[in-house]
Structure 1
Protein backbone atom coordinates (compact mmCIF):
# COMPACT_ATOMS: atom_id res chain seq x y z
CA UNK A 1 0.00 0.00 0.00
CA UNK A 2 1.38 3.38 -0.97
CA UNK A 3 1.45 5.99 1.74
CA UNK A 4 0.38 9.52 0.87
CA UNK A 5 2.33 12.62 1.86
CA UNK A 6 3.19 13.01 5.51
CA UNK A 7 0.72 15.45 7.05
CA UNK A 8 2.56 18.51 8.24
CA UNK A 9 1.60 21.03 10.83
CA UNK A 10 2.08 24.77 10.47
CA UNK A 11 5.61 24.85 11.92
CA UNK A 12 6.95 22.20 9.56
CA UNK A 13 5.10 23.69 6.61
CA UNK A 14 6.48 27.18 7.25
CA UNK A 15 10.04 25.97 7.88
CA UNK A 16 9.97 23.89 4.69
CA UNK A 17 8.55 26.80 2.70
CA UNK A 18 11.36 29.04 3.94
CA UNK A 19 14.01 26.37 3.32
CA UNK A 20 12.67 25.99 -0.22
CA UNK A 21 12.77 29.74 -0.83
CA UNK A 22 16.38 29.93 0.37
CA UNK A 23 17.34 26.90 -1.77
CA UNK A 24 15.64 28.33 -4.84
CA UNK A 25 17.36 31.69 -4.38
CA UNK A 26 20.88 30.26 -4.09
CA UNK A 27 20.40 27.75 -6.90
CA UNK A 28 19.08 30.53 -9.15
CA UNK A 29 22.16 32.63 -8.36
CA UNK A 30 24.37 29.64 -9.22
CA UNK A 31 22.70 29.05 -12.58
CA UNK A 32 25.33 29.19 -15.33
CA UNK A 33 28.26 29.28 -12.90
CA UNK A 34 31.47 28.55 -14.79
CA UNK A 35 34.39 26.54 -13.44
CA UNK A 36 36.50 29.71 -13.61
CA UNK A 37 34.03 31.57 -11.34
CA UNK A 38 33.69 28.54 -9.06
CA UNK A 39 37.44 28.49 -8.34
CA UNK A 40 38.19 32.23 -8.73
CA UNK A 41 40.43 33.56 -5.97
CA UNK A 42 39.74 37.29 -5.60
CA UNK A 43 42.62 37.62 -3.12
CA UNK A 44 45.74 35.52 -2.57
CA UNK A 45 45.60 32.38 -0.43
CA UNK A 46 41.83 31.83 -0.46
CA UNK A 47 40.24 28.81 1.11
CA UNK A 48 39.11 26.77 -1.86
CA UNK A 49 38.59 23.29 -3.28
CA UNK A 50 41.84 21.79 -4.55
CA UNK A 51 43.00 18.57 -6.16
CA UNK A 52 44.16 16.22 -3.41
CA UNK A 53 47.71 14.93 -3.24
CA UNK A 54 46.64 11.63 -4.80
CA UNK A 55 45.13 13.57 -7.73
CA UNK A 56 42.01 11.44 -7.77
CA UNK A 57 39.67 13.74 -5.92
CA UNK A 58 39.20 17.32 -4.81
CA UNK A 59 39.12 18.47 -1.20
CA UNK A 60 37.97 21.64 0.53
CA UNK A 61 40.68 23.39 2.49
CA UNK A 62 40.27 22.92 6.24
CA UNK A 63 38.70 25.75 8.18
CA UNK A 64 41.15 27.66 10.35
CA UNK A 65 40.60 28.03 14.06
CA UNK A 66 38.13 30.64 15.23
CA UNK A 67 40.94 32.75 16.66
CA UNK A 68 42.48 33.42 13.22
CA UNK A 69 41.90 37.08 12.30
CA UNK A 70 41.13 38.12 9.81
CA UNK A 71 39.51 34.90 8.73
CA UNK A 72 40.78 33.74 5.35
CA UNK A 73 38.74 34.70 2.33
CA UNK A 74 37.09 31.83 0.47
CA UNK A 75 36.09 31.00 -3.09
CA UNK A 76 32.59 30.22 -4.31
CA UNK A 77 33.62 26.54 -4.44
CA UNK A 78 34.61 26.57 -0.76
CA UNK A 79 31.43 28.39 0.29
CA UNK A 80 29.25 25.93 -1.64
CA UNK A 81 31.16 23.08 0.05
CA UNK A 82 30.60 24.71 3.44
CA UNK A 83 26.85 25.02 2.88
CA UNK A 84 26.41 21.55 1.39
CA UNK A 85 28.84 19.22 3.12
CA UNK A 86 29.93 21.04 6.25
CA UNK A 87 26.47 22.29 7.21
CA UNK A 88 23.56 20.46 5.57
CA UNK A 89 25.27 17.06 5.25
CA UNK A 90 26.99 17.53 8.60
CA UNK A 91 23.69 18.31 10.34
CA UNK A 92 22.19 15.07 9.01
CA UNK A 93 24.00 13.17 11.79
CA UNK A 94 21.66 14.77 14.34
CA UNK A 95 18.66 12.92 12.92
CA UNK A 96 17.90 9.29 13.76
CA UNK A 97 19.36 7.19 10.98
CA UNK A 98 21.29 10.17 9.63
CA UNK A 99 24.56 10.06 7.78
CA UNK A 100 27.73 9.83 9.76
CA UNK A 101 30.44 10.99 7.40
CA UNK A 102 34.00 10.08 8.43
CA UNK A 103 35.89 13.25 9.30
CA UNK A 104 38.45 12.65 6.56
CA UNK A 105 35.71 12.36 3.91
CA UNK A 106 33.81 15.47 4.99
CA UNK A 107 36.06 17.70 2.90
CA UNK A 108 35.65 15.75 -0.36
CA UNK A 109 33.95 18.02 -2.88
CA UNK A 110 33.79 18.23 -6.67
CA UNK A 111 36.30 20.33 -8.57
CA UNK A 112 33.76 21.57 -11.14
CA UNK A 113 30.90 24.01 -10.76
CA UNK A 114 28.24 21.71 -12.23
CA UNK A 115 29.18 18.81 -9.96
CA UNK A 116 29.46 21.07 -6.90
CA UNK A 117 26.00 22.57 -7.52
CA UNK A 118 24.50 19.11 -8.07
CA UNK A 119 25.98 17.84 -4.81
CA UNK A 120 24.78 20.95 -2.97
CA UNK A 121 21.25 20.27 -4.27
CA UNK A 122 21.52 16.62 -3.15
CA UNK A 123 22.67 17.62 0.35
CA UNK A 124 19.86 20.17 0.48
CA UNK A 125 17.26 17.57 -0.52
CA UNK A 126 18.44 15.13 2.15
CA UNK A 127 18.34 17.78 4.88
CA UNK A 128 14.91 19.00 3.76
CA UNK A 129 13.56 15.44 3.81
CA UNK A 130 14.82 14.99 7.39
CA UNK A 131 13.08 18.18 8.52
CA UNK A 132 9.87 17.18 6.71
CA UNK A 133 9.83 13.76 8.37
CA UNK A 134 10.43 15.25 11.82
CA UNK A 135 7.10 17.13 11.84
CA UNK A 136 5.82 19.76 14.30
CA UNK A 137 5.77 17.91 17.61
CA UNK A 138 9.32 16.62 17.28
CA UNK A 139 10.67 19.80 15.68
CA UNK A 140 10.18 21.75 18.89
CA UNK A 141 11.63 19.09 21.21
CA UNK A 142 15.30 18.82 22.17
CA UNK A 143 17.41 16.72 19.82
CA UNK A 144 18.74 14.70 22.75
CA UNK A 145 21.93 12.64 23.10
CA UNK A 146 22.29 12.09 19.33
CA UNK A 147 23.23 15.78 19.04
CA UNK A 148 25.66 16.04 21.94
CA UNK A 149 26.79 18.80 22.70
CA UNK A 150 23.69 20.40 21.13
CA UNK A 151 21.25 17.91 22.66
CA UNK A 152 19.27 20.59 24.51
CA UNK A 153 18.63 22.45 21.23
CA UNK A 154 15.53 21.66 19.18
CA UNK A 155 15.37 20.42 15.60
CA UNK A 156 13.67 23.71 14.85
CA UNK A 157 16.78 25.54 16.09
CA UNK A 158 18.89 23.31 13.83
CA UNK A 159 16.68 24.05 10.81
CA UNK A 160 16.83 27.79 11.56
CA UNK A 161 20.61 27.59 11.92
CA UNK A 162 20.77 25.88 8.51
CA UNK A 163 18.70 28.73 7.09
CA UNK A 164 21.09 31.25 8.59
CA UNK A 165 24.09 29.46 7.07
CA UNK A 166 22.47 29.28 3.64
CA UNK A 167 21.27 32.88 3.76
CA UNK A 168 24.54 34.50 4.72
CA UNK A 169 26.85 32.24 2.70
CA UNK A 170 24.42 32.35 -0.23
CA UNK A 171 24.61 36.15 -0.14
CA UNK A 172 28.41 35.95 -0.09
CA UNK A 173 28.34 33.66 -3.14
CA UNK A 174 26.03 36.12 -4.93
CA UNK A 175 28.36 39.05 -4.23
CA UNK A 176 31.38 37.06 -5.45
CA UNK A 177 29.52 36.24 -8.67
CA UNK A 178 28.61 39.91 -9.11
CA UNK A 179 32.23 40.96 -8.64
CA UNK A 180 33.45 38.34 -11.08
CA UNK A 181 30.79 39.15 -13.69
CA UNK A 182 31.48 42.89 -13.43
CA UNK A 183 35.13 42.36 -14.24
CA UNK A 184 36.74 42.76 -10.83
CA UNK A 185 39.02 39.81 -11.40
Structure 2
Protein backbone atom coordinates (compact mmCIF):
# COMPACT_ATOMS: atom_id res chain seq x y z
CA UNK A 1 0.00 0.00 0.00
CA UNK A 2 3.02 2.33 0.24
CA UNK A 3 2.91 3.09 -3.50
CA UNK A 4 -0.63 4.50 -3.18
CA UNK A 5 0.30 8.15 -2.71
CA UNK A 6 -2.26 10.93 -3.11
CA UNK A 7 -0.76 11.80 -6.48
CA UNK A 8 -1.26 8.25 -7.72
CA UNK A 9 -4.79 8.09 -6.32
CA UNK A 10 -5.82 11.39 -7.92
CA UNK A 11 -4.45 10.34 -11.31
CA UNK A 12 -5.99 6.89 -11.08
CA UNK A 13 -9.41 8.35 -10.32
CA UNK A 14 -9.35 10.07 -13.69
CA UNK A 15 -7.35 7.55 -15.71
CA UNK A 16 -9.60 4.67 -14.56
CA UNK A 17 -12.66 6.55 -15.82
CA UNK A 18 -10.85 7.57 -19.03
CA UNK A 19 -9.71 4.05 -19.95
CA UNK A 20 -12.61 1.96 -18.64
CA UNK A 21 -15.69 4.11 -19.14
CA UNK A 22 -15.01 7.00 -21.46
CA UNK A 23 -12.44 7.09 -24.22
CA UNK A 24 -13.60 4.00 -26.12
CA UNK A 25 -17.13 5.46 -26.16
CA UNK A 26 -15.81 8.47 -28.08
CA UNK A 27 -14.15 6.39 -30.79
CA UNK A 28 -15.84 6.74 -34.15
CA UNK A 29 -17.48 10.07 -33.29
CA UNK A 30 -18.80 11.36 -36.61
CA UNK A 31 -18.97 14.93 -37.84
CA UNK A 32 -22.75 14.55 -37.95
CA UNK A 33 -22.79 13.74 -34.22
CA UNK A 34 -20.17 16.41 -33.45
CA UNK A 35 -22.30 19.21 -34.93
CA UNK A 36 -25.76 17.75 -34.22
CA UNK A 37 -28.17 20.29 -32.71
CA UNK A 38 -30.74 18.34 -30.69
CA UNK A 39 -32.70 21.47 -29.68
CA UNK A 40 -33.47 24.84 -31.25
CA UNK A 41 -30.96 27.63 -30.64
CA UNK A 42 -28.01 25.42 -29.68
CA UNK A 43 -24.59 26.84 -29.10
CA UNK A 44 -21.91 25.06 -31.08
CA UNK A 45 -18.57 25.36 -32.84
CA UNK A 46 -19.30 26.96 -36.22
CA UNK A 47 -17.55 28.32 -39.28
CA UNK A 48 -16.44 31.89 -38.61
CA UNK A 49 -19.20 34.40 -39.24
CA UNK A 50 -22.10 31.94 -39.09
CA UNK A 51 -22.90 31.96 -35.37
CA UNK A 52 -25.95 33.71 -33.92
CA UNK A 53 -24.68 33.88 -30.31
CA UNK A 54 -23.72 37.31 -28.96
CA UNK A 55 -20.03 36.40 -29.33
CA UNK A 56 -18.01 33.89 -31.31
CA UNK A 57 -14.56 33.13 -29.91
CA UNK A 58 -11.61 31.47 -31.61
CA UNK A 59 -8.65 32.36 -33.78
CA UNK A 60 -9.15 29.98 -36.69
CA UNK A 61 -11.80 29.14 -39.23
CA UNK A 62 -14.13 27.82 -36.49
CA UNK A 63 -15.53 29.74 -33.53
CA UNK A 64 -17.26 28.85 -30.26
CA UNK A 65 -20.67 30.42 -29.47
CA UNK A 66 -20.73 32.29 -26.14
CA UNK A 67 -22.30 35.18 -24.24
CA UNK A 68 -21.15 37.03 -21.13
CA UNK A 69 -23.08 36.91 -18.97
CA UNK A 70 -24.61 33.62 -20.07
CA UNK A 71 -28.37 33.76 -20.68
CA UNK A 72 -30.66 32.19 -18.09
CA UNK A 73 -31.33 29.46 -18.97
CA UNK A 74 -28.24 28.96 -21.11
CA UNK A 75 -28.73 27.48 -24.59
CA UNK A 76 -28.34 23.76 -25.06
CA UNK A 77 -24.84 22.93 -26.32
CA UNK A 78 -23.68 20.49 -28.98
CA UNK A 79 -21.01 17.82 -28.64
CA UNK A 80 -18.68 20.19 -30.52
CA UNK A 81 -19.30 22.95 -27.97
CA UNK A 82 -18.89 20.63 -24.99
CA UNK A 83 -15.64 19.20 -26.37
CA UNK A 84 -14.43 22.75 -27.06
CA UNK A 85 -15.15 23.68 -23.45
CA UNK A 86 -13.33 20.62 -22.10
CA UNK A 87 -10.36 20.95 -24.44
CA UNK A 88 -9.85 24.67 -23.85
CA UNK A 89 -11.46 25.80 -20.60
CA UNK A 90 -10.93 22.68 -18.56
CA UNK A 91 -7.59 21.39 -19.88
CA UNK A 92 -5.60 23.66 -22.22
CA UNK A 93 -5.87 26.80 -20.09
CA UNK A 94 -4.78 24.82 -17.01
CA UNK A 95 -2.02 23.05 -18.93
CA UNK A 96 -0.72 26.48 -19.97
CA UNK A 97 -0.96 27.90 -16.46
CA UNK A 98 0.65 24.97 -14.66
CA UNK A 99 2.46 22.60 -17.01
CA UNK A 100 4.28 24.59 -19.69
CA UNK A 101 1.79 24.40 -22.54
CA UNK A 102 1.78 27.39 -24.90
CA UNK A 103 -0.63 30.06 -23.58
CA UNK A 104 -4.18 29.82 -24.86
CA UNK A 105 -7.73 30.81 -24.01
CA UNK A 106 -11.18 30.69 -25.59
CA UNK A 107 -10.36 33.65 -27.88
CA UNK A 108 -6.99 32.42 -29.18
CA UNK A 109 -7.72 28.70 -29.55
CA UNK A 110 -8.22 27.10 -32.99
CA UNK A 111 -11.35 24.98 -32.63
CA UNK A 112 -11.53 21.70 -34.52
CA UNK A 113 -13.58 21.63 -37.74
CA UNK A 114 -14.07 17.86 -37.48
CA UNK A 115 -14.83 15.32 -34.79
CA UNK A 116 -11.57 13.47 -35.44
CA UNK A 117 -9.53 16.65 -34.95
CA UNK A 118 -11.42 17.48 -31.74
CA UNK A 119 -10.68 14.02 -30.35
CA UNK A 120 -6.99 14.44 -31.24
CA UNK A 121 -6.98 17.78 -29.39
CA UNK A 122 -8.72 16.15 -26.42
CA UNK A 123 -6.22 13.29 -26.31
CA UNK A 124 -3.25 15.68 -26.47
CA UNK A 125 -4.54 17.97 -23.70
CA UNK A 126 -5.52 15.00 -21.51
CA UNK A 127 -2.04 13.47 -21.88
CA UNK A 128 -0.42 16.82 -21.01
CA UNK A 129 -2.66 17.21 -17.96
CA UNK A 130 -2.05 13.70 -16.64
CA UNK A 131 1.73 13.98 -17.11
CA UNK A 132 1.66 17.39 -15.47
CA UNK A 133 -0.20 16.12 -12.43
CA UNK A 134 2.28 13.24 -12.15
CA UNK A 135 5.17 15.72 -12.29
CA UNK A 136 3.80 17.49 -9.20
CA UNK A 137 4.63 14.53 -6.99
CA UNK A 138 3.30 14.71 -3.46
CA UNK A 139 4.79 18.06 -2.49
CA UNK A 140 3.53 19.83 -5.61
CA UNK A 141 -0.05 18.90 -4.81
CA UNK A 142 0.20 20.99 -1.64
CA UNK A 143 1.52 24.07 -3.47
CA UNK A 144 -1.00 26.94 -3.91
CA UNK A 145 -2.68 27.13 -7.33
CA UNK A 146 -1.46 30.66 -7.88
CA UNK A 147 -2.85 33.70 -9.70
CA UNK A 148 -3.96 31.72 -12.77
CA UNK A 149 -6.84 30.31 -10.70
CA UNK A 150 -8.17 33.72 -9.67
CA UNK A 151 -10.18 33.57 -6.44
CA UNK A 152 -8.92 30.02 -5.85
CA UNK A 153 -5.24 31.04 -5.94
CA UNK A 154 -4.59 30.01 -2.33
CA UNK A 155 -6.12 26.55 -2.64
CA UNK A 156 -3.66 23.67 -3.05
CA UNK A 157 -3.13 22.22 -6.51
CA UNK A 158 -4.74 19.02 -5.20
CA UNK A 159 -8.05 20.93 -5.07
CA UNK A 160 -7.60 21.94 -8.71
CA UNK A 161 -6.85 18.33 -9.69
CA UNK A 162 -10.04 17.18 -7.97
CA UNK A 163 -11.99 19.94 -9.74
CA UNK A 164 -10.60 18.98 -13.15
CA UNK A 165 -11.41 15.31 -12.48
CA UNK A 166 -15.02 16.29 -11.74
CA UNK A 167 -15.23 18.53 -14.80
CA UNK A 168 -13.88 15.88 -17.17
CA UNK A 169 -16.06 13.09 -15.79
CA UNK A 170 -19.16 15.33 -15.85
CA UNK A 171 -18.80 16.94 -19.29
CA UNK A 172 -17.50 13.90 -21.13
CA UNK A 173 -20.34 11.80 -19.71
CA UNK A 174 -22.66 14.42 -21.25
CA UNK A 175 -20.92 13.91 -24.60
CA UNK A 176 -21.47 10.14 -24.33
CA UNK A 177 -25.13 10.68 -23.46
CA UNK A 178 -25.57 12.94 -26.49
CA UNK A 179 -24.04 10.23 -28.68
CA UNK A 180 -26.56 7.76 -27.24
CA UNK A 181 -29.40 10.21 -27.88
CA UNK A 182 -28.22 10.79 -31.46
CA UNK A 183 -28.05 7.04 -32.08
CA UNK A 184 -31.52 6.40 -30.72
CA UNK A 185 -33.20 9.33 -32.48
CA UNK A 186 -31.49 8.81 -35.86
CA UNK A 187 -31.62 5.01 -36.03
CA UNK A 188 -33.00 3.79 -39.33
CA UNK A 189 -35.56 0.98 -39.23
CA UNK A 190 -34.43 -2.24 -40.89
CA UNK A 191 -35.89 -2.88 -44.35
CA UNK A 192 -39.52 -3.89 -43.90
CA UNK A 193 -39.50 -3.58 -40.12
CA UNK A 194 -39.50 -1.35 -37.11
CA UNK A 195 -36.59 -0.16 -35.03
CA UNK A 196 -36.11 -2.48 -32.09
Q: TM-score range by the shorter chain?
A: 0.7 to 0.9
When residues 80 and 103 of structure 1 are mapped into structure 2, their CA distance, relative to the original with a 3 A threshold, is: closer
Question: Which residue of structure 1 lines up, in the alignment, with residue 92 of structure 2?
Answer: 89
| 1:30-179 superposed matches below 5 A | 30-53=26-49, 57-66=61-70, 68-95=71-98, 97-101=100-104, 104-106=107-109, 108-179=110-181
Query: Which of structures 1 and 2 has the bigger CA Rg?
Result: 2
SS of 2:129's equivalent? helix
Structure 2 stretches lacking a partner, 5+ long: 51-59, 188-196
Structure 1 range deviating more: 16-25 or 91-100: 91-100
SS of 2:66's equivalent? coil
Which stretches of structure 1, 4 residues or more, deviate above 6 A after TM superposition? Answer: none
Output the CA distance in 2 between the equivalents of 1:172 and 1:146. 27
Output the CA distance in 2 between the equivalents of 1:146 and 1:109. 22
Aligned residues: 176
The TM-score normalised by the length of structure 2 is: 0.80
Higher relative contact order (CA 8 A, sep 6+): 1
CA-atom RMSD, angstroms? 2.4
